[in-house]
Each structure stands twice: as C-alpha cells, then as structure tokens.
Amino acid sequence: MRLLLTGATGFSGKEFLKNLEDEKNDFEEIHVVVRDNSLRSFIQKSSLNIIEHHGDLTDQKFIKKITENIDVILHIAGIQMSKNLFNSSIENKVDWIIAVHTTGRYSKFKIASEEYIAIEDELLKLKNKINITILRPTIIYGSMRDRNMSKLIKFLDKSPVYPVFGNGKNLMQPVNGKDLAIAYKQVLDNEDVTKNKEYNLSGEKPIEYLDLLKIVSRKLGKKTSFVRIPIKFSYYTAKIGKKITSKFPIQDEQVLRMQEDKDFSHYEATKDFDFKPRSFEKGIEQQILEYKGE
C-alpha cells in the first residue's frame, strides 16, 4: 500500500510516523509532503520507506503530481488545503482519503464555522467518486509546538494573575496529539468500518474551562489568582491586549466563543476503532515536563 501523508512535520503527523516504526504496517511506501528539511534527520534514521516531496499544497500542479499512484491519503495539513487535494485524488484514482479537519465547524459563531462548513459540505458530495473519512479533533494539545496550550502554559508560568473571560463554566474537551496519532492508525487498520464515516476526536471527558486553568497552574507548581471578567468587557480587553502585545494569550474571537461549550462525544470513534484518549490531567502534565525540559 502506498500512503501519502500531509502535515508530517506537525505534532500528530510526526507522532504517527514514530508509531509506524514500532508497529507492523502494510505500507510499502510512505510519501510525505514537506517544505523544508526538518524531517530529514528522522527519515535518515527511520526503518520506514519514506519518500519526501518538497512543495506547496496550494500548487495544483504539485498536488496532481504527488497524488499519482497513491492508494490512501492521510491529510493533516489543514482543511483549507482539502479541496484541491480531493480533486487531484479523484483524477488520479486514489482509493481513500482521510481528512483531519476540526470540530470548529459546529460553532454557532459564523466567524468560526462558516468557512469550515462550506468546504466540508462541498467535499462530502464527492463520496460517490472517492472513499472519504473525516476526522474532527477538538483543540489539540500535548506539545510545546502546539498553538493552544503552549501559550497558556507560558503565560500561567510567568503571571500570578490570569483573566477568565466569562464565568469559566464553559466546557472544553482538548485532545492530545499523541492520541490523534494513534487514532489515525486505528482508522487505517479498520477500513471496513471507517471508510465513508465522520468522527469527532476529543479528550477523555469534558472539563470546565476554569478547572482546566487550575489544573495547568497546579501542574506548574503555581498559585494563580483567576479574575473573572464579563464577556463584553473581555472582548474589548482582548482586542486592546492584542494591540499592546502579540503574545497576549487570548484572541477576541476566542472570547466570543467562551460563551459556548466545546465538548464533543467521541463515542462513535470508540465504538468503531477503540479510540481511548488520555485524561487532560495526564496529557498536560507530560506537556509541562517538556516545557520545563525534564
């Protein structure tokens, strides 16, 4: 089987490749899309037959070329890149594409969901031309390379006070990137069930935002004062904070989304391919150890 992997240099993509080295797999060739040589050292030491393709996923000619003679695509690089990739995959008769998108499509705020809905709905109409599986992770964490918890960890480590926008009772269910990497392989191993299905991939269980903050603070060994700020005032604070410093940990759009719960059941994933994500407390502890260099 020939596999094409996009997003190979990202957290879950690289973890997926590491896992393949330790497990039996049927991939005679693993093609990866890279923009630089950041994966070169790993490839040189790997027991896998990895073939690099240097290029840009916005380049239609490049996409058409790399999808030739490919059986399965695991597309992690981003939903904005999906449309052209899907079209070239159909043209080159790829059997199956597994696209890692986002639960952001479920947001009630158009600013967060409108683009995702438009892209996915168009792609899902292509199921009669190619086998499609959509994976929708929640907020991804687990590495200091992530764009979410890494900023929070750094801020809580340095500041004794943290602003909580709203009452802090909105639910979250972050998923660890290492659990995603395991899920990718589970999906591939259970193709009879997972082809042409859609799955939400979330953490072990929902957690209130304020409790999440307290866990991070405690794991850092800090005593943080959490100051609740009304949503409307928070929104304008975030806009001002962003202008003052690019390192301000909360964006104005995130403040708006503090009004909605972001917990999503992974029941179907557990039922179909035994997805068992770790607890947030365990996952964030590992990330904080990385942050501390331990």
Q: For 14-48, write each residue's pLDDT tens digit.
A: 999 999 988 777 899 999 999 888 888 899 998 89
Q: Which pair of structure tokens corresponds to residue 52? A: 């690099």
Show Cβ contacts of residue 100 under 8 Å, excluding neighbours closer than 6 positions. Answer: 7, 12, 74, 75, 76, 135, 136, 137, 180, 184
Q: Which helix (H) or strand (E) covers residue 52, if one does?
A: strand 50-54
Q: What's domain 2-137's architecture?
A: 3-Layer(aba) Sandwich (3.40)
Domain with CATH 3.40.50.720 in the chain: 2-137
Contact 72, 45 (CB under 8 A): no
Backbone angles phi, psi at 138, to 5 degrees: -85, -160
| Residues 198, 272 contacting (CB under 8 angstroms) | no
d(CA 96, CA 22): 24
Of 85-99, 140-154, 180-194, 245-259, the range with the lowest mean pLDDT is 245-259
pTM of the full structure: 0.91
Coil, strand or helix at 72: strand
* pLDDT tens column, 194-242: 999 999 999 999 999 999 999 999 999 999 999 998 888 877 877 888 7
